[in-house]
């Protein structure tokens, strides 16, 4: 495009489509073309204002009607939502209580079974020890009888026999706890247990990201807050740099 002769039609001579077509394909390589681009930008600004003036009343009315409808729906739903939230809360609390009681009962039955098994084992050990004591008494009596018969060597042989080990009779297998039926379910209702993250220390999380122990996708920088902080405090923020951004505005 020549720098001496402007090929940009005046805003009065072009219609909407031509203006948009010319502006979309326009390239700026010279000062004259930059000035032409400025005039095109002014035309587009006027066109934008005209379009908004034609459509904004309808959009505003629709938006207002939408807001009124949303508010009416929210108001109508409020008591339903409150009642639903209340019922869900009390049902969840009841379910948690029932499950705690169920786990406590299962644990009680388990302890009872273990106590019974220990009682059986203790009785078996006591019986084995009783039999050992009886065997020792029998040997002692036998040795004394042999000595009365002057069979000293035989008595010594009896006394020298190894003491029998305390080997109880086979111990019964630990009995299984008594079956505890699970809590009954409410028809048509399901309870789900889910896990959700909770950030208890943002500093620790950021430190872990800095050490490479967690991906940086776990946090999102709030550029608006960062910019406001730097502007208000005039301080630098580690990991942040200020960049210049050029924008174009039409002066009227």
Neighbours of 143 (CB within 10 A): 19
**How far is residue 186's CA from residue 91's CA, in Å, rounded to a whole number?**
10
Contact 181, 152 (CB under 8 A): no
**How far is residue 24's CA from residue 39's CA, in Å, rounded to a whole number?**
14
- Look up the pTM and report it: 0.48
Given a cut of 50, whether residue 66 has pLDDT beyond it is yes
Lowest-pLDDT range of 6-10, 18-22, 107-111: 6-10
H-type helices in the chain, by residue range?
A: 16-25, 31-148, 152-160, 202-210, 223-233
Contact 43, 8 (CB under 8 A): no
Q: Residue 1 has what pLDDT? A: 43
Given a cut of 50, whether residue 11 has pLDDT beyond it is no
Given a cut of 80, whether residue 202 has pLDDT beyond it is yes
Average pLDDT over residues 55-80: 95
Over the stretch 224-251, which tens digit does the pLDDT of each residue have?
A: 999 899 889 998 888 888 888 777 766 6
Question: Torsion angle of alpha carbons 100, 105, 107, 112, nearest 10°?
Answer: 170
Neighbours of 8 (CB within 10 A): 20
Q: How confident is the model at residue 169 (pLDDT cuts 50, 70, 90)?
A: low
Q: Residue 58 has what pLDDT? A: 94
Over the stretch 15-34, which tens digit does the pLDDT of each residue have?
A: 778 888 888 998 999 988 88
Given a cut of 70, whether residue 39 has pLDDT beyond it is yes
Over the stretch 131-161, which tens digit does the pLDDT of each residue have?
A: 888 888 888 888 888 888 888 888 788 778 8
């Amino acid at each position: 495009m020549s720098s001496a002769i402007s090929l940009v039609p005046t805003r009065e001579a072009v219609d909407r489509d031509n203006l948009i077509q010319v502006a979309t394909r326009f390239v700026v390589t010279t000062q004259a073309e930059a000035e032409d681009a400025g005039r095109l930008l002014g035309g587009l600004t006027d066109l934008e204002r005209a379009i908004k003036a034609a459509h904004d009343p309808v959009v505003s009315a629709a938006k207002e009607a939408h807001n009124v409808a949303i508010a009416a729906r929210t108001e109508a739903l409020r008591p339903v939502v409150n009642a639903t939230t209340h019922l869900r809360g009390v049902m969840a609390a009841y379910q948690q209580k029932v499950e705690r009681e169920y786990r406590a009962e299962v644990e009680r039955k388990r302890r009872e079974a273990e106590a019974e098994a220990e009682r059986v084992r203790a009785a078996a050990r006591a019986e084995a020890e009783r039999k050992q004591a009886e065997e020792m008494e029998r040997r002692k009596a036998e040795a004394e009888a042999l000595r009365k018969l002057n069979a000293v060597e035989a008595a010594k042989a009896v006394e020298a026999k190894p003491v029998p080990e305390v080997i109880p009779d086979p111990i019964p297998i630990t009995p299984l706890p008594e079956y505890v039926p699970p809590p009954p379910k409410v028809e048509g209702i399901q309870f789900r247990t889910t896990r959700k993250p909770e950030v208890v220390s943002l500093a620790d999380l950021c430190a872990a990201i800095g050490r490479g122990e967690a991906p940086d996708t776990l946090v999102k920088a709030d550029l608006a807050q960062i910019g406001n902080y730097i502007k208000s405090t005039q301080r630098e923020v580690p990991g942040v740099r200020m960049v210049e951004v050029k924008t174009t505005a039409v002066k009227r």
